[in-house]
Chains A and B, each alone.
Chain A
């Protein structure tokens, strides 16, 4: 009876030790992980919202250019050279201005998104106790990693929850 009790205690102690060791090594395995940077960027809610905003602005500007094109075509069909010349000039001035503004807006939105991503990645890394969190985007230095280190979805969930104001 006594021997059985001692055996039970020994087995229980071994199970606890094995559990602690497994937890430790699993924890240690999380110190270096990677995320797919292009997925993080493209699937981030803020990116999607700003893309819609950018598309709306670009499309509105294109509509203005299209309207001028219609006038140009009508002027050409009617042989109205003066109107054609004037609208051509207006078209190219506006196109150049809009192209520049579209590029600036794209850059502005990209900067906003990366500023936000960098902040959330920092918070995520600190909360999850990672030592390194590498960005893999196909042209980066990380060429291969085991699937078990892929925390892209976990990071994306964290980022989208934080962005929506649910994470405090």
Chain B
């Protein structure tokens, strides 16, 4: 009888351990999010372009902005509370060849490059939607990181505010491109991949 009880307790403890999220230090957490194998980063290639979307948990954004080495629990908790309800994604427009500026591909006129930059600064956010189940959410904020051709790619940080809790649901980002002529691109981030993100510990 006692053996049976101990066996049940040990089995339940092992199951509980397996079900709980893994824990990660700030450096491990950043590495996990940036690892394409974890399903949070997806890349599509069309013609000369490589378009990548990365799901960025709020904690990841806080670590990037504050610095993984210097962040404190107090700062982290304050930032998580202050920005709760927001979802961050990074859209990266790159060149497959990685030798030339992606926006310089397929230009039909000299002014077209500046037009493309202008659309990234203001306008691209209207082409991107977050879809969760049957609900569609617009991009509420975006930031284009202009690098003045120091790199072949262009990063655009996107922020959405789903109105209802979206825990345990797939996220779909729909980017209806009007800049590069490649049409609509759809990315789906599995709920299981989001659930598998380790817990950040300080």
Contacts and interface: CB of A to CB of B under 8 A. Distances in A.
Interface of A: 46, 49-50, 108-109, 111-113, 115-116, 119, 163-166, 168
A115 B186 contact: no
B165 interface: no
Contacts of B184: 46, 49, 163
Contacts of A49: 184
Contact of B46 (A109, A119, A165): A119
A109 B183 CA distance: 8
DSSP class of A's interface residues: helix, strand, loop or mixed?
Answer: helix
Contacts of A163: 184, 186
Interface of B: 39, 42, 45-47, 172, 181-188
Given A115-B47, A119-B45, A119-B47, A168 B39 contact: yes
B47 A166 contact: no
Given A115-B46, A165-B172, A168-B39, A50 B183 contact: yes
A46 B181 CA distance: 13
Contacts of B186: 163-165
B183 A116 contact: yes
A108 B188 contact: no
B182 A116 contact: yes
A115 B187 contact: no
A108 B46 contact: no
A116 B45 CA distance: 9
B182 A115 contact: yes
B188 A166 contact: yes
Contacts of A109: 183
11 contacts: A46-B184, A112-B183, A113-B183, A115-B47, A115-B181, A119-B45, A119-B46, A163-B184, A164-B188, A165-B186, A166-B188
